[in-house]
């Protein structure tokens, strides 16, 4: 009984962290939630953002921003692709301000400076962890 009492809380906490979805389970963000940076541009680079699967914030969208402009509202297990001008871009995540539920309350702002080169693709991943909450990180896809 002591062992169960000691292990159960750890298992419950571990269940809150997100994990990478298998490629066959990742869905494109629907067009109505892709809000900017969708047009092909001469001399542009491409930014791809995947959101992990997981329970934390699972019923909520997260807003993806490029240069502090909302570019998409992404759900769990979804991917969005953006065409961005070359140069240093600020890629970040924040709360979805279009949501009027508890999901839009609180604070969330994580940003990365990304030096974009024309013709290159940059991959990022939105993770959720029980200790640090949501974060956006460079993605190193499985080989």
Q: pLDDT digit string (tens) for 63-114? A: 999 999 999 999 999 999 999 999 999 999 999 988 877 777 778 899 999 9
Q: Domain ranges for the chain, please list them.
A: 16-138
Give the model confidence (pLDDT) of 101-132 as tens digits: 777 777 889 999 999 999 999 999 999 888 77
Dist. CA 90–CA 77, nearest whole Å: 23
Tell me, which fold does domain 16-138 have in CATH? Immunoglobulin-like (2.60.40)
What is the C-alpha to C-alpha distance for residues 18 and 97, in angstroms, rounded to an integer?
A: 23
pTM: 0.83
DSSP label of 19: B
């Amino acid at each position: 009984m002591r062992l169960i009492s000691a292990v159960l809380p750890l298992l419950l906490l571990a269940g809150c962290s997100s994990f990478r979805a298998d490629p066959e389970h990742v869905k494109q963000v629907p067009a109505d939630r892709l809000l900017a940076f969708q047009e092909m541009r001469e001399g542009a680079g491409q930014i791809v953002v995947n959101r992990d699967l997981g329970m934390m914030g699972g019923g909520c969208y997260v807003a993806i921003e490029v240069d502090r402009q909302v570019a998409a509202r992404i759900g769990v297990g979804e991917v969005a692709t953006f065409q961005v001008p070359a140069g240093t871009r600020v890629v970040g995540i924040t709360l979805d301000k279009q949501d009027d539920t508890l999901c839009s309350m609180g604070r969330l702002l994580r940003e990365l400076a990304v030096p974009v080169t024309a013709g290159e693709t940059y991959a990022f991943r939105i993770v959720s962890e029980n200790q640090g909450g949501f974060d956006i990180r460079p993605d190193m896809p499985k080989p």
